[in-house]
A and B are shown apart, each in its own frame.
Chain A
Amino acid sequence: MSPRLAKALVNGGLIGVSAIVLMPMLWMLSVSFMQPGEASTYPPPLLPAHATWTNYHELFERAGMGRYLANSLAVATAITLLSLAFNLSAGYAFAKLRFSGRDRLFQTLLGALLIPAQVAMIPLFLLMKWLHLVNSYGGVVVPGLAGVFGIYLVRQYAQSIPDELLEAARIDGAGEWRIFTRIVLPLLKPIVVTLAIFTFLASWNDFMWPLIVLSDQAWQTAPVALAGLSREHVQDNELMMAGSVVTILPVLVLFLVLQRHYMHGLLLGSVKG
């Protein structure tokens, strides 16, 4: 094979695969701007004849999408901020502080990763009902306050902090809390960003648990509401595409902006494990 042909094949392959991968999202965007009913024709139109905001209007005015997006934002932000506090302090302690039974405890936590989350969901629902957290933000936020994966990620990263640094601070008389906030947290900054974007995306995209715990429409997150809408509006393709756009756009933009940190966490979490 000549080098030129090989080059054409590799790059042509990448262009072809990327086109197939991006096509569904580009089409979603295009159809979301079509007149109601316009996409239900054959052959399927690629671009709207007259681009319109009708579907977005309908989505926010009639279907109440604004409320669902606000719910998603509130839930994902709360989980991200609070779980960062819980996971950072625990991850740091597992990496750098000595306490009896530390390693055995950490092994046990890692073992819990084998158990699928759904096993806990039914008793968790009863617990939430008992705590009066069904149909509230708390029902989604509270179980997400800490996670084994987050603790693991922080621990992996925190292990690279030199012990001498912490020792020196201790000999200087700094308290453990002060060491954590003044010395450790600034050093952990890269993993904080990584973990924040991971958590935010995962909470925004989460479906099964919010579906179970948020049956009341007023509290539903965007994915749960969208799934419900798609069952009601089977024929309204243009409207549903607009719904998909506004659900995906926030996470997609966030990912594009913070991509480097996301990829970093992905590799730290899997390859080195």
Chain B
Amino acid sequence: MGATLPRVVVVSTERTAWTFVTPALIVIGGFFAVPVLAAFVLSLTDFDLYALADLRNLRFVGFGNYLDVLRAPLFWKSLLNTLYFVGVGVPLSIGASLGAALLLNSPLARAKGFFRTALFAPVVTTVVAVAVIWKYLFHTRYGLINWTLGQFGIAPIDWLGDPHYAMPAIIIFAVWKNFGYNMIILLAGLQGIPQDLYEAARIDGASTWRQFRHITLPSLRPVLVLVGVITMAGYFQLFAEPYVMTLGNPLQSTYSVLYYMYEEGFMWWSLGRASAIAFLLFALMLVATRVLLRIARRAGEST
């Protein structure tokens, strides 16, 4: 296309193109890319309250912060809690999304528009505000959840006060808040599966379950992998839920890696240490994504 235009025009296009992209690049560079690089440098220093007051107090400590963090029991605790949240929360969320998408995609379903909106609504709500609601729903004595369980003869559970139940409670909340997002993506995936596949299967006498197992799931695999990767990345960043509902308690059973980073950084002002925690989380997310993609590829080869 450049060949058909006079040279002057091409040169001016190049220049305008840069004026169009430069403002955005400056923002992304200055307020994201440079801070990310700075975070790595910071993670190699002992940046703390004294350095905040006077930069001459700053010392280079190599990988000392990383070693310190890896030796801290609270880091491992927060790591296990986060892995628990991701490991249980992600499959549950996607399962709920898939179930709801299948219901919405059924030709028998009525009032699809209404149900779709209703099920999606929690996604657009403010996480802090709905966490406040759920904290109250989980109230041991006056909460609606224990009241409902009571109707089935189940004794009250101290959801947010018992270390065994606090993380499950947060997972239930997270599934409620997030499943609608993937539901919409999976619904679009389901609508993209050619109907004649199902017709052929029905003619061959395949049951509903077999149709689901051999047509629906394999066709959805790319979408499921995508949804899995996005959801996992989001769930590794657990922060607002424990901040509002449990303060990381009871017995630090809901203390997440980001919560740890926040406290080290902005409660104790160990900014070097907090940067190291951020990078450890980033590395963990990269590894987990790799593992998930590898498992997905294996599963793809075996079917």
- A residues whose Cβ falls under 8 Å from a Cβ of B: 3, 6-7, 10-11, 13-14, 17-18, 21-25, 27-28, 31, 39-44, 85-87, 89-90, 92-94, 97-100, 102, 105, 109, 112, 114-127, 142-143, 145-148, 151, 163, 167, 170, 176-177, 180, 201, 204-205, 207-208, 211-212, 222-224, 226-227, 230-231, 237, 240-241, 243-244, 247-248, 251-252, 255-256, 259, 262-263, 266-267, 270-271, 273
Contacts and interface: CB of A to CB of B under 8 A. Distances in A.
Given A10-B108, A17-B103, A222-B126, A25 B121 contact: yes
A187 to B, nearest CB: 16
B31 A124 contact: yes
Interface stretch (B69-77, B109-117, B193-201): B109-117
22 contacts: A18-B115, A25-B121, A90-B21, A90-B24, A93-B20, A97-B17, A98-B13, A109-B28, A116-B281, A118-B261, A119-B281, A122-B265, A125-B266, A142-B27, A145-B27, A147-B28, A205-B127, A208-B240, A227-B243, A241-B136, A247-B126, A248-B125
Interface residues of B, number: 95
A40 B147 CA distance: 12
Contact of A208 (B27, B139, B262): B262
A198 B243 CA distance: 25
B144 interface: yes
B132 A243 contact: yes
Interface stretch (B85-93, B181-189, B210-218): B181-189
A52 to B, nearest CB: 18
B185 A99 contact: no
Contacts of B4: 167
B16 interface: yes
A22 B1 CA distance: 54
Given A97-B17, A100-B14, A122-B275, A226 B27 contact: no
Give the 5 A-B residue pairs with the shortest CB-CB distance, closest first. Answer: A90-B24, A93-B20, A123-B38, A120-B35, A176-B16
Interface string B237-273: 1011001100100000000001001100110000100
A93 B21 contact: yes
A216 to B, nearest CB: 14
Contact of A252 (B17, B104, B124): B124
B109 A98 contact: no
A47 to B, nearest CB: 13
A241 B133 contact: yes
Nearest to A247: B129
Given A14-B109, A24-B134, A123-B35, A223 B129 contact: yes
Contact of B118 (A18, A28, A97, A126): A18
A86 to B, nearest CB: 4
A150 to B, nearest CB: 9
A117 B172 CA distance: 25
A211 B223 CA distance: 34
Nearest to A31: B136
A117 B32 CA distance: 8
